[in-house]
Amino acid sequence: MEKRGVMELVAHNDNLPDADSVPLLPALRRQRIAEFLHHHGAVTLQQLAEALHVSLSTLRRDLDALAEEGVVERTHGGAILRHLQYSTFEPNIAAARDLSPREKRLVGAAAAESLVPGQSVIFDSGSTVLEAARAVVARKIPIVAVTNDIEIAQVLNASPLVQVHLFGGQLRPGSNTVVGEQVQNAAKRICADVLFFGAHAVTDNIVSETSPEVAAVKRALMRSATSSRLLVDASKFRPRVFMTVCDMSEIAEVITDEGAPQEELERIRSAGVKLVIAKNLP
C-alpha cells in the first residue's frame, strides 16, 4: 500500500483549490477535517491548524458544527470520531508519523538522553519510539537493542555501536510491526533494562490501544523490562479506546511535551511516576 503523509491525506483532491493559497469555503474545510479524522480517529486543534493553515478560532467553529451534525465528538483541544467508531478505530499507520512531528522528535530525543551506555533496551513499535531510535543513533552510544518493529531495527542497525535483535512473529498488515504469540513468548526469555513504548491514548492514568494484539504485545514487553518508559506526545492524552494496556502505576517514567494537559500531568505525578517534559531539541 502506498504511504501517504497527512498533508496529502487531508488536502488531496485534484478538483479542489490549494488550501495554502485560496481560503476554503466552510463546507469544503469541514469536509477535509472529516477526512482527516477518518484517517486518524482523533485530532487536536494544533494538528489541524498545521495541516489546513486555518486559525484556531475558525477550526473551533468548524468542529462545533461537525459535532452538531453528529460527525465528531468534541474533546478538550480537539475532536474524535463519534465514540462508537472511535473506541475500536484503527488509525492510518503510514500517516501517523506526520502528526506532531516536532513534538515526537522532542520526546524521542529526551528518551535517548535518559539511556546509559551499555544498557539493554526494548523498542516497541510506533512513530515516537522510532524518533527515540533515531536519537540513540545520533547520540552514538553503545546499547543492546531488541525490537518488534522492522523499520526501527533498520534505523538502529545503522549504528555500529548498537547490537540489534529483532523479534520474530506475524507482520501486522500495513505496518512494520511484528505481533503475535511468538513475540510474547520470546519476550518471556528477555530481561532488559529499559522499554520504550507508545500508546494510542492516555486517559485518567489508563494507557489503551485500539488493537487487542498490539495491547497484548505491549503488556508482554513491559514484563520483560526493569523500567517501562511511555513515550507520548501531547495529542495522545485523549479519550480511552478499546483495549487497556496498563495502569499508570505500572510505568516507571512518562516522557511527553509541553502541550500535555496539566490535569493529566498532575494525575501522573500523583501516581508516583517520574515525569519528563521534553522542551528543547538538542
pLDDT at site 85: 60
Q: 74 with 154: CB under 8 angstroms?
A: no
CA atoms within 13 A of residue 138's CA, in its CB half-sphere: 15
User: Residue 155 carries which side chain, given as an amino acid letter?
Assistant: V
Q: What is the pTM of this model?
A: 0.80
Find out if CATH 1.10.10.10 is the number for domain 6-94.
yes
Query: How far is it, in rounded angstroms, from Cα 82 to Cα 46?
Result: 20
pLDDT per residue of the chain (282 residues) written in tens, 0 to 9: 333 443 343 334 433 334 344 467 888 888 888 888 877 788 888 888 888 888 999 999 999 999 888 888 888 788 887 765 666 667 666 666 667 889 999 999 999 999 999 999 999 999 999 999 999 999 999 999 999 999 999 999 999 999 999 999 999 988 899 999 999 999 999 999 999 999 999 999 999 998 999 999 999 999 999 999 999 999 899 888 889 999 999 999 999 999 999 999 999 999 999 999 998 754
pLDDT at site 263: 95
Question: Grid coordinates standing for 277?
Answer: 517534559
Q: Which fold has domain 100-278?
A: Rossmann fold (3.40.50)
Short-list 219, 256, 251, CA closest to 237? 256
Query: How far is it, in rounded angstroms, from Cα 176 to Cα 3?
Result: 12
Unique residue bearing C-alpha cell 529499559: 194
Query: How far is it, in rounded angstroms, from Cα 43 to Cα 91?
Result: 11
Q: Are strands 120-123 and 143-147 parallel, antiparallel or unpaired?
A: parallel
Question: Grid coordinates standing for 232?
Answer: 507520548
pLDDT at site 14: 38
Short-list 271, 104, 129, 124, CA closest to 204? 271
pLDDT at site 47: 85
Domain ranges of the chain: 6-94, 100-278
Query: How far is it, in rounded angstroms, from Cα 215 to Cα 196?
Result: 14
pLDDT at site 31: 87
